[in-house]
Structure formats: C-alpha cells, structure tokens
Amino acid sequence: MRIVLDRARCEGHGLCEEAAPELIHLDDEGELVIDQEKLTEAEAPDGRAAARVCPVAALRLV
C-alpha cells in the first residue's frame, strides 16, 4: 500500500498530518512529506484517515 499525493492539489492545510503524524508532516516550507516506509499494515488506518480528511482530495491510497 502507498499514499499518493497530487502536489498540484495540496494546499497545505495539515489535516492529514493531524490524522497520521507518524506518516505525514509538513516541512519548513509547507510542503507535504510522506514517509512511505512507515506505511505498514498497522499504520494503514491512519493513512486512510489522512486521505479521508484532506479537504482538496490531494491524497489517495493505492
């Protein structure tokens, strides 16, 4: 499983970071960083939650 980010859509609201702080964070420049290596089966619910709360649908799980 992977989290795919559509960078053109991302507006940096940070809701995904709140939903999955172990997987996703905004860097100092406001760019979204996804730690794909941490996306294990145990973290999959957080990844799904992060995609679900994105107000511009910039994230999806594949």
Q: Where are the domains of the chain?
A: 3-61
Q: What are the helix (H) ranges across the chain?
A: 15-19, 44-53
- Count of beta carbons in the 10 Å neighbourhood of residue 26: 15
Question: What pTM did the predictor assign?
Answer: 0.85
Mean pLDDT of the chain: 92
The confidence score (pLDDT) of residue 17 equals: 95
Q: Is the pLDDT at 49 greater than 90, yes or no?
A: yes
Tens-place pLDDT, residues 18-46: 999 999 999 998 899 999 888 888 888 99
Q: What CATH number has the domain spanning 3-61?
A: 3.30.70.20
Residues in Cβ contact with 31 at an 8 Å cutoff, skipping those fewer than 6 apart = 12
Alpha-carbon torsion 39, 23, 16, 5, what sign?
A: negative
